[in-house]
Amino acid sequence: MLTKKPIIALILALVHALSGLTLLLVSSWFIAASAVAGVSFNYMLPAVIIRALALMRIASGYGEMWLSHHQLLESLAHLRLSLFNNMQGSTSVSRASDTDKLNYQSQDVASIWTGWINQNAGALLSLLLLTGFVLWQLVAFSVPWLIFLTMALLIYIWLIMSGLVLAQKKQQIRTSLESQIEHHFDAANIWHMQKNLQHPDASALYKNVQTNQVKIEWAISGLLILSLFCITLLVIKMNTLGNNTPIVMILPMALLGALDWFGRTFFSHHRLHDYIIGNKIINSNYSTISNSRVKDKIESIELKQFKPKGSASKELDITFAEQQLHLIAGSSGSGKSRLFKAIAGLIDFDGDLFLNSRSIKDKYNERKAESSFSDKCILDDVLYVEQTPYVLSGTLRQNLQLAQHSAHRNANSLIDDNKLIEVLKTVGLDQLSNLEQWVGSGGRQLSGGETKRLGLARAILSTKRYILLDEPFEGLDQQNIDKVVNVINSLTTSRCVIIASHIYPEGLNFDNKIDLDSY
């Protein structure tokens, strides 16, 4: 069905474009013919044809719009769920930065049919059919038309190629700006200490967008000038040949309407650019993530002279073993989150990390020769739950099933609903009993506490043996803190749980406490 719908929508788009162009040309011919026709001229038949073309244009337009958007939503849902499932194989199912980027990229990829292919296919087919008509019926006037055809296609191609260069620069600028904004707001608690505080500057992004808009305006102006020039050549040719038959009026009317049936495609080229870039990022980044995983079953993690790259924190020597609860304490800004990201493989680190008594650097050196292996080693048996877990715009069931490892996901092995409801009750989300309920953007907005407990529910459902929980108690009331404590204590019966927190609730049975402030 995902294959059939875009093809049917494309056919409807072609019918819509051709019926619109034919309507314009037949109408112009009819007006010219009526001016010179005698009393015997059959006015009824052209009028009926014009009405039929108008109805065909309206029907195909609405049909294409409905089918295209229906296909877009299906394709978008299919693509996003597939990619989110693939991301589940990495260390985290809740990284806001990755999932936000994935949101834009998947939308760019899924909307290529609706946003670019359908529109441009109709315009290019119209151009081809008009050329065939001119060479068949109006050979004497073919030179002005062929000049228009050649120059219009050159403008079309120039706009695509120059726009793609701008789009690539825009992606680089946006990525850099997102990183600057993220780090800027991460340091919000020390803004008051900076004398010359500089906020991230988005002027380069605005300038890029403005430059692209100027190029489109140039292309539109060029097409208009080209149309007027070719119309002038046509008029001169008509006077020279003395040919004033109504059928000749088709060409100047086609040229006068070129801004509508051909020029409007210029505004859609950014969809093609976004698709090319988004598809490249999805195919490279996420396949690279998949290939750079360390898939070993982890029985112990040992840090030696370990610290996140670029961090001002002291080097750590810690061993994390199975069925233990470790508490990483420290004040805000002490580096707890960066430590977790470094352990999970999301950012680089100095020192060494040993898996099952073997250095991860040895494993990296073994696989370094593989062209598909990236610089980072993501631990497949580790789940990192951020301070604010990401809520996928989808059903509650889909948000929970993200916790199931993609390598074992198929239609027959999904976690059953009874288990999902049981886990929701365990973490104190009894009020979210409707698994079909839409949450996230466009649905029920979860509170901060509910979002944290959703992340904890994913940790319970996950089969990964090492769970990293970043500030799981922050923002919760005492009743919910007690529930989270019970869940964490029970998790340690089969896994290793490492908590980063500046809150130390009573009843938390931790085996080891590492205070980064005094380490």
What is the spatial distance between Cα 407 and Cα 88, in angstroms, rounded to a whole number?
9
Average pLDDT over residues 282-309: 74
Q: Which residue has the tokens 């020192």?
A: 351
Please name the residues in contact with 169: beta carbons below 8 A apart, sequence gap of 6 or more: 208
Question: Which pLDDT score, from 0 to 100, does residue 409 have?
Answer: 45
What is the spatial distance between Cα 428 and Cα 339, in angstroms, rounded to a whole number?
29
Q: How confident is the model at residue 411 (pLDDT cuts 50, 70, 90)?
A: very low
- 238 has a pLDDT exceeding 60: yes
Question: Which pLDDT score, from 0 to 100, does residue 291 have?
Answer: 47
Could you read off the pLDDT of 44-61 as tens digits, one per residue? 777 888 888 889 888 988
State residue 233 phi and psi, 5-degree precision. Answer: -60, -40
- 392 has a pLDDT exceeding 90: no
Question: Which pLDDT score, from 0 to 100, does residue 143 have?
Answer: 93
Question: Which pLDDT score, from 0 to 100, does residue 189 have?
Answer: 65
Question: Which pLDDT score, from 0 to 100, does residue 303 have?
Answer: 92
Please name the residues in contact with 284: beta carbons below 8 A apart, sequence gap of 6 or more: none
Question: Which pLDDT score, from 0 to 100, does residue 164 have?
Answer: 94
Q: How far are the Cα atoms of 94, 177, 274 from residue 281, in angstroms, in the given order? A: 19, 17, 10
Determine contact, residues 325/508, Cβ cutoff 8 Å.
Answer: yes
Question: Which pLDDT score, from 0 to 100, does residue 408 have?
Answer: 43
Q: How far are the Cα atoms of 184, 187, 199, 291, 310 from residue 194, in angstroms, in the given order? A: 12, 10, 12, 42, 20
Question: Which pLDDT score, from 0 to 100, does residue 283 have?
Answer: 72
- 10 has a pLDDT exceeding 70: yes
The pTM of this model reads 0.61
Question: Which pLDDT score, from 0 to 100, does residue 89 have?
Answer: 45
Average pLDDT over residues 202-217: 93
> 439-463 b/e with 16+ CB inside 10 Å = b?
bbeeeeebeebbbbbbbbbbbbbbe
Question: Which pLDDT score, from 0 to 100, does residue 198 have?
Answer: 81
Q: How far is CA 305 from the centre of its chain?
A: 38
Could you read off the pLDDT of 127-142 as tens digits, one per residue? 999 999 899 988 988 9
